Structure 1
C-alpha cells in the first residue's frame, strides 16, 4: 500500500498544482518520496489542456526501474497505467482511502505491473519491520492450529528461493524456550550445555502458488522438512490453509476497491505480478456478487 500511496501522491499533485509541465511535476513528486530510483518515465495525457484546471486527466503512464522505497525494500520494476482521471480539486485527500474516494468524481481505475527479484525479497526479509509482520502472522497460525496462546516461537533468519513453474521456497528457523521437563531431561545428560535452554527448529518449505478467479492466492502442493525430516501432511495442509486464508483480495471491496490479479509468474530469479484495480467514488457501492 505504501507504494500506491507514493504513486497516488505524484498523480494527485498534477491535479492539485494545475501545472503545465505535468510529466516533470509528477516525476519530481514521486522521486522526492523515494530513497532512490534508477529509471523513471512518466507520460501524462491532459488533452484538452484546460482539463487539468477541472481536475481531469485523460491518462497517466508511469514506468520505473530500481525503486528503493526503504533501505531494505527495493522493487525492480513498477509500472502503472490509468484510465481517465477526474478529481474534485477542492476535496483532494490521499491520506486515507475514504478521503481519496470522497474526492473522486468518477471511479479511478488502472493496471499495474510489479517485478521483484529473489535478491530484493531476501533483502526485504532483513528489515525489522517485515520480520515483525511475519512474526505476527506466525503467532496467529500457531494459536489457530495449536489452540493455545502458551506456545511461542521466535522467527529467525527467513530466506526465500524462487523456483520455476510458480514454485516458491522459504527457509527459516524457529526458536522457543524449552519446557521444564525438557530442561530436566537435558540436565542429566552428559552432553548438557546452556543451549539446552532453547529449542530450535530448522524449517524448509516449498509450495506452488495459484491464482483463483483473479482474487485469491492459493498455496498448493506444499512440501517441507523440520530439522531435515519430512513434515506431516496434516501440518503442511494446515500451514497452506492458514496462509491462503489471508491472501484474498475480496476484503478490499468493503473499502470500495475492486482488485484482481491478471498474472502471477515465478521463475528462478524473479516474481512478476500484473493486476487491475478500481477505486469507486464514495457514493458508489461495489456489487456484492463480483
Structure 2
C-alpha cells in the first residue's frame, strides 16, 4: 500500500523511471497521477494522468521537442498489460479513454523521422507501386503560415540512371478537425515548372487518405484542435478517444 500513499508520489516516480529507462533519450519527464481515494489504483483506476516530456526520443530517428498528455478518468485491466500487443490494445481498457495532447516537432526531428522504417512504410503506402520509381532522398522544409516545402530525388525506370530532382510547395489546411488538406500546390522537376493539372491529380490521391476518420473503424477517434507550422517547427494539438473491446 505504500506505493499508493503520499498522493501517489512513489507511483509518479516509478512511471517517470519507466519512461526514462525505455527511451533512447529524454531531457525532462514530469508525471502526475491523480487518484482519490488512492487505493483505487490497485484496481487500475485513476481520476487522471498528466505527462510532460521534453526532448523525448523514444526510438532511434523518432524525437519530439515536446509532448504533453492529459487523460480523463482512466480504467485499465492490469492483468492484460503484460500481454499487450499492437492488435489487442483494446483489451486493456475497462472503459473509454479520453486524452488531450500537444506536441512540437522541429524541422530536424521531422526529417529524421522521415528516414525511420515506420515513416518509410507510410510513404510507400501513399506512393503506390514502388516499382514505378526509386525514391533516393526526401526532405521537408517548414515555412511560415502553414506552408510546407518538400525536396525529393528519385529515379524512374523509363529514365535509366538519371536522377530527377522534384520540389513541391503547398499549404496544409486543417478541415473540421478531422481532415488534413493539401492546397495551393506548386512544383518543379529539374527546375522546370510542373503542370498544375498533373499536380492536382497527385494531390487528389493523397487528400483522399488524409482523413483521421479512417482510424475510427479501429476504435480510435482523433480530432485536431490546432495545426501551426512555423519556419523551424510544427505544433499540433488535439484529443483522442479510445474505445475498449466489445465483449
User: Normalization by structure 2: what TM-score?
Assistant: 0.89
1:121 is paired with a residue whose SS is helix
Q: CA deviation at 1:134?
A: 2.2
| Unaligned segments of structure 2, at least 5 residues | none
1:52 equivalenced with 2:15 (yes/no): no
Q: CA deviation at 1:132?
A: 5.2
Q: How many residues align?
A: 241
2:86 alignment partner, one of 96, 99, 114: 96
Q: CA deviation at 1:131?
A: 3.9
1:204 is paired with a residue whose SS is strand
What does residue 221 of structure 1 align with? 184
What does residue 246 of structure 1 align with? 209
What does residue 52 of structure 2 align with? 63
Q: CA deviation at 1:207?
A: 0.5
Deviations 1:45-87 (A, max 9, x none): 1221111012111111000111112222211111100001112
Contact 2:137/2:154 (<8 A) preserved: no
What does residue 267 of structure 1 align with? 230
1:161 equivalenced with 2:137 (yes/no): no
What does residue 152 of structure 2 align with? 172
Task: State the Cα RMSD in Å.
Answer: 2.3
| Matches of 1:251 and 1:128, distance apart in 2 | 22
Contact 1:178/1:198 (<8 A) preserved: no
Contact 1:135/1:154 (<8 A) preserved: no
Q: CA deviation at 1:88?
A: 2.8
1:283 is paired with a residue whose SS is coil
2:105 is paired with a residue whose SS is strand
| Matches of 1:157 and 1:248, distance apart in 2 | 26
1:36 is paired with a residue whose SS is coil
What does residue 174 of structure 2 align with? 211
| Matches of 2:236 and 2:20, distance apart in 1 | 23
Q: CA deviation at 1:20?
A: 6.7
What does residue 280 of structure 1 align with? 243
Deviations 1:213-238 (A, max 9, x none): 21111111111111111111111111
| Matches of 1:135 and 1:49, distance apart in 2 | 47
What does residue 29 of structure 2 align with? 40
What does residue 202 of structure 1 align with? 165
Contact 1:79/1:114 (<8 A) preserved: yes
Contact 2:171/2:182 (<8 A) preserved: yes
**Segment of structure 1 superposing worse, 224-233 or 197-206:** 197-206
What does residue 27 of structure 1 align with? 16
Q: CA deviation at 1:256?
A: 1.3
| Unaligned segments of structure 1, at least 5 residues | 1-13, 144-148, 180-196, 285-290
What does residue 287 of structure 1 align with? none
